[in-house]
């Protein structure tokens, strides 16, 4: 039986990992729940953001947090463009899964072409710094990721809840025709949401670059677990992926501490399978 | 105020309306009756911009409606209470009402109109934070009517407001509609309860199999065998 | 002739492809050709479930991997290599069937949810393999396993094995494609509910397809274990297998038996051939781009595109249906007072607390035409759905020809001779008219062989006035023709009871006259007819007897004239001035 300190540290790191799951899942959940598009390329976009952050920080010696002011706005444009393509070709929910699968492979190849398949590690002060709280270590970068995830999820929630645009988007998700009859311009709102979702991928990417060693194939490592968080959290609910992500992160961390690290994926995927089998109508 | 001329509407190649013409005068309450599948809902939805006409013209207050984008019909002063209510069931009662005045020009009057709707349907004030999908059928119909009222319409399109409701609730809904009508709002009413629909209207049209087969004053229509024929297969004749 | 042509072609292609093995090519070419065949087998086996029945799986890597590890385990455990291959197939098939037995029981688990679920299953299997003695972490080496010589060299042997499994898979796909249950799978692809109501045992067929698909993938995996000689979890269960398999099938056309093979050849050549192997990055980018462009511009793949072009060639202008000519000897019913064919007693059904049927009891007599009428939401369609087995009644009993069918699966009820049409026609969109109708003949009461059913289908299309469009797709039809197709499909099983849901609505008056005549003809052939209709003129004209439903209850029944004069019925239809 591992010591109490070890377990507590595990729970803490689970919470932090969960924050990153939530950050990656936020945009995915929004476009799936509110636009009925499953954007698999969200992960590839996040990694593109991570590599851009890496290059801007190393080659141009920009503070990684300045990258947050550059990458997400540029990604907003990518999101708007992709939405225009989806609308132009009337891509269905299932078609979107396949198209963005193709896009994922293209972005992965692009990354491999520019940055090669070698591992890349962004060395910054944030990456290694950590605070000591009692017997526990709190890594600064991961704490910032968690806080950012919480802030973005909270802001998006409030935006959907209290603004005209947000209410219009939610109404469109339920009944686009009636929403239009009351004046909601679905096409324009969808562009905004798609842009926002891509921008969130950029934010997530910056933190991936700060915390993890980058390799193109890593794109696929996140897909399963983040999908699990998105589906468990409820599609279109901005707080859902974060909450579900933390639950999954902590369960994984405890599984790792109590058994072997390699057993961890079993937790999230078993949860995902159970949700799909027991509540398919909810998705 | 509303003029429909030679309207033809189809779903794919299934034609639902053939050459339908009718008009609603300023402040008039007009009913459309006819059996299921005769095209009543199609008519209402086309006027509200939910469906595109294949042929014919829609004019409203002198302007052409036929080519107006669906989300701009509301700003012309038309609001719909659709068949089956079609509330945003996951959103709260108040959010549903607010969406009625989503159009930028109407947003300023939100608070005042909300007060009016709550005054008319006090039960909705008590349930304002509740998800609309959790309400009873009658309350949902009130939300649907309230949502349309929030748009401050000059023409109200009502599709089967009594469907599935208890008689007392139906009375209440009709009282509200008649009160609106007295204030000068024009109403186009589609209703399965023929006698009720004819009792409140000043004029009515009978639709059958996608065509207007008869029109005139309620008294005239009730006397005609046409109505009995389309509903009951004319057992009298 | 066609029957013999296909096996002959397979034999020729197979022998032709053996030449490289005999000609002792450089190992590089043999490896390349092996890889082409490997992907042909994987993509084609995937399409037997996913392409044919529309259950898109992202989990083909799991079955492939199950086979790979089965061979790796058994061969390193001392078993000779060749006998491990059928065992690898069995292991993968067992895994697939076990998964399907659970998953296919869950309604609505289709499309993207099924895809995600199969992906998750892959990851779970990968984790289990990685952490148990099956792999244990470092991977399994097969370099010590002796490889029997079938071709000139080791790569030659693998090439011959790859050829064998590729041919076996494509031949299987060909056989399924042309078999009765292939037709069932295609029906499931387009509309599973309708397929079940026509008599297709959907659950069993899906399970069978999954078993075959995963078994073949398992054999391909077993061979591949020997090809790579070093089996690791990361490589085996990576996303690459499902990605490429889907890409190849979608490019080639997943609904055609040859489509995935075509796609596999194209994509593999593109990846290794054109890009020369060393620029693998560019190869992958091309693969990704191809997938995107194909979905956007050619969503049905190359073969789908070609099939569609062929069937959409401009034909004759839409003809009016000829007056229906009786093609079967007429069996005039003695009178309409025959024994009860359908008995509903106290049938109840609620949806989310709303009572759609509140204890309906009625009898339909052999050989009569019964009109089922009532205002909106009165429960007419629900009653049809319960009788046909689409919905399960909450209470009460349904008897067809004296047999209790309450709670039976829809396909069993269909086999007793119950057929229906849908108010909004639901043809199988990707099947020709002839195939649409033949599904009913194959799976309904008659259980015809496929060829008999297709021949008979021609007659029923003639009956419905659609004979000259038999080889077109339903999209080419207008509403009126689609309604007649519904009728032809319902009749092709020569049912004892036909339930027609608003066949007349949306038709022009002259089309309506055709339709009413057709309904009479149906009865004159000995079938019993229940029809739901709002156009009262037609009800009065057609029905021997009318049953009125309102708010889920039976109001009254009797002769049409009497029923429609009943003051209660009049009130329910016209309402009251004071609600």
Contact criterion met (CB < 8 Å) for C574 and B167: no
Residue B93: exposure state from Cβ atoms within 10 A (0-12, 13-18, ≥19): buried
Cα R_g (chain A), whole angstroms: 19
Tell me the nearest-neighbour CA distance from B106 into chain C, angstroms.
Answer: 34
Tell me the nearest-neighbour CA distance from C573 into chain B, angstroms.
Answer: 7
CA–CA separation, C28 and C30 (whole Å): 5
Q: Among all chains, which residue has been given the structure tokens 């072997």?
A: A260
Residues 174-203 of B with CB under 8 A from C: 174, 191-199
- Enumerate the H helices of C298-427 as residue ranges: 301-311, 380-387, 410-415
Against chain B, the chains showing at least 3 CB pairs within 8 Å are: A, C
pLDDT on residue C319: 42
Helix axes C154-178, C202-228, angle to 10 degrees: 170
Residue of A159, A176, A178 to mutate when probing chain B, most B C-beta within 10 A: A178
Contact criterion met (CB < 8 Å) for B36 and C536: no
pTM of this structure: 0.85
pLDDT on residue B16: 85
Residue B69: count of CB within 10 angstroms of its CB: 10
Q: Check: CB of residue C360 under 8 Å from CB of residue C552.
A: yes
CA–CA separation, C151 and C428 (whole Å): 46
For residue B222, what is the nearest residue in chain C, using CA coordinates? Answer: C574
Three-class SS of C224-237: HHHHHCEECHHHHC
Token pair, residue C460, equals: 């029923």
Cα–Cα nearest to B77, from A157, A183, C467: A183
Whether residue C128 lies within 8 A of chain A, CB to CB, comes out as: yes
Token pair, residue B227, equals: 């109505």
Residues 424-453 of C with CB under 8 A from A: none
CA B62 vs CA B19, B25, B47: distances in Å: 21, 12, 15
Show Cβ contacts of residue A180 under 8 Å, excluding neighbours closer than 6 positions: A172, A186, B49, B50, B70, B71
Residues 13-72 of A with CB under 8 A from C: 38
Tell me the nearest-neighbour CA distance from C175 into chain B, angstroms.
Answer: 37
Residue C320: count of CB within 10 angstroms of its CB: 10
Cα–Cα nearest to A172, from B69, B94, B97, B88: B88
CA–CA separation, C177 and C415 (whole Å): 23
CA C366 vs CA C340, C360, C377, C557: distances in Å: 6, 19, 28, 17
Higher pLDDT: B208 or C336? It is: B208
Tell me the nearest-neighbour CA distance from B44 into chain C, angstroms.
Answer: 17
Residues 137-176 of A with CB under 8 A from B: 164, 167-168, 170-171, 174-175
Tell me the nearest-neighbour CA distance from A220 into chain C, angstroms.
Answer: 7
- Residues in chain A with pLDDT < 70? 1, 280-283
Per-residue buried b or exposed e for C376-412, using 16+ beta carbons within 10 Å of the residue's own CB:
ebbbbbbbbbbbbbbbebeebebbbbeeebbebbbbe
Token pair, residue C496, equals: 């004892």
Cα R_g (chain B), whole angstroms: 17
CA B65, chain centre distance (Å)? 17
Residue B128 has pLDDT above 50, yes or no: yes
Show Cβ contacts of residue A249 under 8 Å, excluding neighbours closer than 6 positions: A13, A14, A15, A16, A17, A18, A19, A21
Sheet holding C354-365, edge to edge: C354-365, C340-351, C395-400, C403-404
Comparing CB atoms, the residue among A101, A269, A280 nearest residue C291 is A101
CA–CA separation, A174 and A181 (whole Å): 13
CA–CA separation, A48 and A64 (whole Å): 14
Higher pLDDT: B210 or B144? It is: B144
Comparing CB atoms, the residue among A98, A272, A276 nearest residue C291 is A98
Stretch (H or E) spanning C53? helix C27-53
CA–CA separation, C530 and C373 (whole Å): 10
CA B128 vs CA B97, B132, C267, C308: distances in Å: 9, 9, 58, 53
pLDDT tens readout for residues C2-40: 556 777 777 777 777 777 666 666 777 888 889 999 999
Whether residue B91 lies within 8 A of chain A, CB to CB, comes out as: yes
The neighbouring-strand residues paired with B190 are B32, B159
pLDDT tens readout for residues C423-467: 889 999 999 999 999 999 999 888 899 999 999 999 999 988 899
Beta strands B29-33; B14-24: pairing state: unpaired
CA–CA separation, C549 and C540 (whole Å): 16
CA–CA separation, C129 and C95 (whole Å): 13
Cα–Cα nearest to A104, from A162, A45, A156, A188: A45
Which residues on C lie below 8 Å from B195 (Cβ)? 574-577
pLDDT values of chain C reduced to their tens digit, one per residue, 579 residues: 455 677 777 777 777 777 766 666 677 788 888 999 999 999 999 999 999 999 989 899 999 999 999 999 999 998 999 999 999 999 999 999 999 999 998 887 887 789 889 988 998 999 899 888 888 778 899 888 888 887 677 888 898 999 999 999 999 999 999 999 899 999 999 999 999 999 999 999 999 999 999 999 999 999 999 999 999 988 898 877 888 898 889 888 888 999 999 999 988 887 776 555 455 677 778 878 888 888 888 877 777 777 766 655 444 444 444 444 444 444 444 445 578 899 999 999 998 777 889 999 999 999 999 999 887 778 898 999 999 999 999 999 999 998 999 989 999 999 999 999 998 899 999 999 999 999 999 998 888 999 999 999 999 999 888 999 999 999 888 878 888 999 999 999 999 999 999 888 777 777 888 888 888 888 888 899 999 988 888 888 899 999 999 888 999 999 998 888 888 888 888 777 665
DSSP annotation of A120 reads B
Tell me the nearest-neighbour CA distance from C503 into chain B, angstroms.
Answer: 12
pLDDT on residue C63: 96
Q: Check: CB of residue A217 under 8 Å from CB of residue A120.
A: no
Whether residue A243 lies within 8 A of chain B, CB to CB, comes out as: no
Show Cβ contacts of residue C416 under 8 Å, excluding neighbours closer than 6 positions: C400, C401, C403, C405, C445, C496
Beta strands B2-11; B55-60: pairing state: antiparallel
Q: Check: CB of residue B70 under 8 Å from CB of residue B134.
A: no
Contact criterion met (CB < 8 Å) for C560 and B231: no
Which residues on B lie below 8 Å from A171 (Cβ)? 88, 91, 99, 102
Question: In chain A, what is the straight-line distance between the N-terminal and C-terminal CA atoms, in Å?
Answer: 38
pLDDT on residue C315: 43
Question: In chain C, what is the straight-line distance between the N-terminal and C-terminal CA atoms, in Å?
Answer: 71
The alpha carbon torsion through A17, A19, A25, A29 (nearest 10 deg) reads 140
CA–CA separation, B155 and B136 (whole Å): 27
CA–CA separation, A257 and A264 (whole Å): 9
Q: Check: CB of residue C305 under 8 Å from CB of residue C259.
A: no
For residue C565, what is the nearest residue in chain B, using CA coordinates? Answer: B235
pLDDT on residue C309: 67
Whether residue A84 lies within 8 A of chain C, CB to CB, comes out as: no
pLDDT tens readout for residues A224-248: 889 889 988 888 999 999 999 999 9
Estimate the share of chain C in helix, then strand, then coil, as percent rounded to the nearest 5: 60, 10, 30
pLDDT tens readout for residues C259-317: 999 999 988 887 776 555 455 677 778 878 888 888 888 877 777 777 766 655 444 44
pLDDT tens readout for residues A56-111: 988 888 887 888 889 999 999 999 999 999 999 888 888 898 899 889 989 998 99
CA B234 vs CA C21, C397, C536, C541, C562: distances in Å: 82, 35, 8, 11, 11
Which residues on B lie below 8 Å from C506 (Cβ)? 14-16, 37, 210
Three-class SS of C260-314: HHHHHHHHHHHHHHHCCCCCHHHHHHHHHHHHHHHHHHCCCHHHHHHHHHHHCCC
Q: Check: CB of residue C291 under 8 Å from CB of residue A102.
A: yes
Whether residue B226 lies within 8 A of chain C, CB to CB, comes out as: no
Contact criterion met (CB < 8 Å) for C120 and A262: no
Residue B36 has pLDDT above 60, yes or no: yes
Stretch (H or E) spanning C372? strand C369-373
The neighbouring-strand residues paired with C422 are none
Contact criterion met (CB < 8 Å) for A181 and B50: yes
Q: Among all chains, which residue has been given the structure tokens 């659609």?
A: C466
């Amino acid at each position: 039986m591992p010591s109490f300190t070890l377990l507590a540290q595990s729970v803490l790191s689970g919470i932090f990992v969960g924050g990153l799951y939530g950050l990656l899942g936020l945009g995915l959940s929004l476009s799936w729940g509110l636009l009925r598009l499953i954007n698999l390329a969200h992960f590839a976009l996040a990694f593109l953001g991570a590599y851009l952050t890496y290059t801007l920080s190393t080659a141009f010696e920009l503070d990684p947090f300045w990258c947050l002011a550059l990458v997400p706005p540029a990604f907003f444009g990518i999101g708007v463009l992709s939405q225009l393509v989806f609308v132009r070709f009337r891509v269905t929910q299932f078609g979107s899964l396949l198209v963005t699968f193709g896009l994922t492979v293209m972005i992965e190849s692009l990354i491999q072409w520019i940055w090669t398949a070698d591992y890349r590690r962004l060395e910054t002060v944030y990456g290694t710094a950590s605070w000591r709280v009692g017997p526990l270590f709190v890594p600064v970068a991961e704490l910032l990721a968690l806080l950012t995830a919480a802030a973005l999820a909270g802001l998006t929630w409030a935006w959907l809840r209290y603004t005209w645009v947000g209410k219009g988007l939610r109404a469109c998700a339920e009944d686009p025709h009636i929403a239009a009859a009351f004046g909601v311009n679905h096409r324009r709102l969808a562009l905004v949401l798609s842009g926002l979702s891509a921008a969130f991928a950029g934010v997530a990417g910056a933190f991936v670059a700060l915390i993890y060693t980058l390799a193109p194939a890593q794109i696929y490592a996140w897909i399963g677990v983040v999908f699990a968080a998105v589906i468990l959290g409820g599609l279109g609910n901005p707080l859902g992926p974060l909450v579900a992500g933390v639950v999954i992160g902590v369960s994984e961390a405890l599984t790792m501490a109590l058994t072997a690290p390699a057993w961890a994926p079993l937790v999230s995927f078993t949860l995902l399978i159970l949700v799909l089998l027991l509540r398919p109508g909810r998705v | 105020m509303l003029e429909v001329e030679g309207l033809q509407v189809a779903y794919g190649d299934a034609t639902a309306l053939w050459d339908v013409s009718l008009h609603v005068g300023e402040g008039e309450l007009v009913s459309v009756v006819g059996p299921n599948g005769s095209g009543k809902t199609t008519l209402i939805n086309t006027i509200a911009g939910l469906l595109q006409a294949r042929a014919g013209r829609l004019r409203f207050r002198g302007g052409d409606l036929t080519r107006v984008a669906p989300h701009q019909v509301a700003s012309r002063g038309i609001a719909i209470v659709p068949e089956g209510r079609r509330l945003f069931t996951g959103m709260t009662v108040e959010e549903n009402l607010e969406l009625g005045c989503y159009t930028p020009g109407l947003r300023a009057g939100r608070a005042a109109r909300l007060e009016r709707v709550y005054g008319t349907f006090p039960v909705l004030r008590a349930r304002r934070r509740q998800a609309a999908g959790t309400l009873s059928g009658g309350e949902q119909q009130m939300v649907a009517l309230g949502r349309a009222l929030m748009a401050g319409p000059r023409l109200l399109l009502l599709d089967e407001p009594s469907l599935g409701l208890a008689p007392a609730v139906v009375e209440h809904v009709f009282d509200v509609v008649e009160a609106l009508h007295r204030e000068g709002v024009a109403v186009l009413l589609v209703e399965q309860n023929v006698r009720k629909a004819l009792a409140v209207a000043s004029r009515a049209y009978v639709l059958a199999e996608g065509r207007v087969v008869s029109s005139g004053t309620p008294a005239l229509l009730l006397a005609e065998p046409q109505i009995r024929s389309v509903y009951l297969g004319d057992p009298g004749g | 002739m066609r029957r013999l042509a296909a096996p002959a072609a397979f034999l020729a292609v197979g022998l032709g492809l053996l030449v490289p093995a005999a000609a002792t090519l450089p190992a590089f070419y043999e490896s390349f050709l092996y890889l082409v065949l490997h992907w042909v087998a994987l993509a084609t086996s995937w399409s037997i479930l996913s392409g044919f029945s529309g259950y898109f799986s992202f989990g083909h890597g799991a079955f492939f991997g199950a086979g790979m590890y089965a061979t790796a385990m058994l061969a390193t455990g001392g078993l000779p290599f060749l006998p491990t291959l059928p065992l690898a197939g069995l292991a993968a098939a067992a895994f697939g069937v076990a998964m399907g037995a659970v998953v296919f029981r869950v309604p609505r688990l289709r499309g993207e949810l099924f895809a995600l679920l199969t992906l998750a299953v892959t990851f779970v299997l990968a984790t289990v393999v990685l952490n148990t003695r099956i792999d244990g972490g470092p991977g399994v080496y097969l370099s010590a396993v002796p490889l029997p010589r079938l071709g000139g060299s080791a790569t030659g042997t693998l090439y011959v094995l790859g050829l064998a499994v590729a041919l076996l898979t494509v031949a299987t796909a060909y056989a399924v494609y042309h078999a009765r249950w292939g037709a069932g799978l295609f029906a499931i692809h387009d509309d599973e509910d309708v397929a079940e109501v026509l008599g297709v045992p959907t659950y069993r067929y899906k399970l069978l397809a999954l078993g075959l698909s995963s078994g073949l993938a398992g054999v391909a995996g077993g061979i591949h274990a020997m090809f790579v000689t070093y089996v690791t979890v990361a490589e085996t269960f990576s996303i690459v297998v499902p990605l490429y398999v889907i890409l190849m099938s979608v490019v080639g056309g997943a609904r055609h038996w040859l489509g995935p093979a075509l796609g596999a050849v194209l994509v593999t050549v593109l990846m290794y051939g054109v890009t020369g192997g060393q620029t693998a990055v560019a190869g992958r980018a091309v693969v990704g781009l191809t997938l995107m462009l194909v979905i956007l511009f050619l969503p049905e793949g190359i073969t789908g595109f070609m099939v569609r072009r062929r069937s959409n060639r401009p034909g004759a202008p839409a003809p009016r249906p000829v007056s229906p000519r009786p093609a079967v000897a007429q069996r005039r019913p003695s009178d309409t007072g025959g024994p009860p064919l359908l008995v509903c007693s106290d049938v109840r059904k609620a949806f989310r607390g709303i009572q759609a049927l509140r204890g309906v009891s009625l009898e339909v007599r052999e050989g009569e035409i019964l009109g089922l009428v009532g205002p909106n939401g009165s429960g007419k369609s629900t009653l049809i759905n319960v009788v046909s087995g689409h919905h399960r009644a909450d209470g009460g009993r349904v008897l067809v020809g004296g047999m209790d069918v309450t709670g039976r699966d829809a396909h069993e009820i269909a086999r007793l001779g119950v057929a229906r049409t849908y108010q909004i026609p639901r043809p199988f969109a990707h099947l020709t008219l002839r195939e649409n109708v033949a599904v009913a003949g194959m799976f309904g009461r008659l259980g015809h062989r496929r060829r008999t059913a297709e021949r008979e289908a021609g007659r029923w299309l003639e009956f419905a006035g659609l004979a000259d469009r038999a080889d077109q797709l339903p999209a080419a039809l207008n509403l009126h023709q689609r309604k007649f197709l519904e009728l032809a499909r319902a009749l092709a099983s020569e049912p004892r009871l036909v339930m027609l849901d608003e066949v007349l609505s949306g038709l022009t008056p002259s089309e309506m006259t055709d339709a009413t005549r057709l309904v009479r003809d149906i009865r004159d052939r000995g079938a019993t007819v229940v029809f739901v209709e709002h156009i009262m003129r037609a009800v009065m004209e057609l029905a021997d007897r009318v049953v009125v439903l309102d708010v889920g209850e039976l109001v009254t029944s009797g002769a049409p004239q009497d029923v429609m004069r009943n003051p209660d019925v009049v009130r329910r239809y016209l309402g009251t001035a004071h609600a």
